[in-house]
A = this chain, B = another copy of it.
Amino acid sequence: MRKIKIISTGKYLPKKIVSGIEIDRILGLSEGRSAQMSGVESRHYVEDESASEMGAYALMAALEKSELNYDDIDAILCASGTAEQALPCTAALIQRQMKRPDRSIPCFDINSTCLSFVTAMDVASSLLETSRYKTIAIVSTEIASVGLNPNEHEAYSLFGDGAAAVVVSRGSETDRSRVIHASMKTFSEGSDFCKIRGGGTRFHPSKYDGKSEIFQFSMEGRKIFKMVLENMEEFFNQSLSDANIKLEEIKFVIPHQASASGMELVRRKLKIPLEKYVDILKDHGNMIAASIPLGLHYLVASGKIARGEKIMLLGTSAGVSLGTLILEY
């Protein structure tokens, strides 16, 4: 039993909104083509915002909606697929943006690419269960726009920037909120299907011209779809079976917002009813690890989910990894 209660959620979306038509213009496509390809009609792109600023704004927004304040938080976990700097970790930079130097709470990053938030919730539930921490801020903050390759139309059409934050604690003795089951698999023979090769120690920026495509996101969409579809059904059914839960008992499934076609293929394969399937792709694009917590935020903020109801987070990520986390809200 790993008790974890979602106390509150918050988001920050960059001020600048970029329509599909603007993407069409950048890529030299006919009007409507990028939205048709990706299912994304508009997304946010940063102008002057940094990842840590967005993360701090999202956390402040989450705290505003709760009875807690920043003094109650005893750790910041940044759960993002991209980093603000090569060093130090983004969580420390988010702490700095909170502008409370008296609060020297521990900061670290958890990264499993687009699954980072799901992994962080999973890890946080163990950290709370063992009383290592009492109240944790999990922040996913992503800037995808800087790494897109205009020669890869599908991927370029797909991504957006933004941040989401979720404050979690163990809850009271009578709270039933908990992780019912979590599961993850990494199929690293596909680690090359979805990547940004450069920027780290292998293809270090000092060895390449800044214009090199090596620093841009590259995706072999068909290969990654094939790998996900081949493994997802068994993985998903095993998760439900291990959790001893039927899909009918789950109120909402929040999938990673990979792409409209990818999400729909997965939904059909897993026979998830449309009304259960949280879809925020159209106005946000794929926001890497921030997609799932943003979906969760909209569920919570809209009042669509009530305490005692069950949610499944269903992630796919570069790696290639699959992840589920079934929780009672």
Chain A positions near chain B (C-beta within 8 angstroms) = 2, 50-51, 76, 81-93, 95-96, 101, 104-113, 115-116, 119, 122-123, 125-127, 129-130, 132, 142-143, 146-147, 182, 184-189, 191, 194-212, 215-217, 231, 317-321, 323
**How many angstroms between the C-alpha atoms of A205 and B198 in the bound complex?**
9
Question: Are B200 and A206 in contact (CB-based, < 8 A)?
Answer: no
A-B contact pairs, 23 of them (CB 8 A): A2-B130, A83-B199, A85-B200, A85-B202, A86-B215, A88-B194, A88-B195, A91-B112, A96-B188, A96-B189, A106-B186, A107-B112, A108-B112, A109-B110, A110-B110, A110-B111, A122-B132, A123-B127, A126-B132, A129-B129, A146-B207, A199-B199, A210-B210
Interface centre among A81, A111, A195, A207, by most B CB within 10 Å?
A: A111
Which residues from B are CB-within-8-Å of A211? 206
Report the separation of the CA atoms of residues A110 and B119 in the bound assembly, to the nearest whole angstrom.
11
Q: Which single member of B126, B206, B208 contacts A130 (CB below 8 Å)?
A: B126
- Which partner residue on chain B sits nearest A201 by CB separation? B143
> What is the bound-complex CA distance between A87 and B204, given in angstroms?
13
- Distance from A41 Cβ to chain B, minimum over Cβ atoms (Å): 24
Query: Given the interface contacts A96-B191, A107-B321, A321-B92, does A85 sit within 8 Å of B199 by beta carbon?
Result: yes
Query: How far is it, in angstroms, between the C-alpha of A84 and the C-alpha of B113 when the chains are bound?
Result: 13
Residues of B within 8 A of A231 (CB): 104
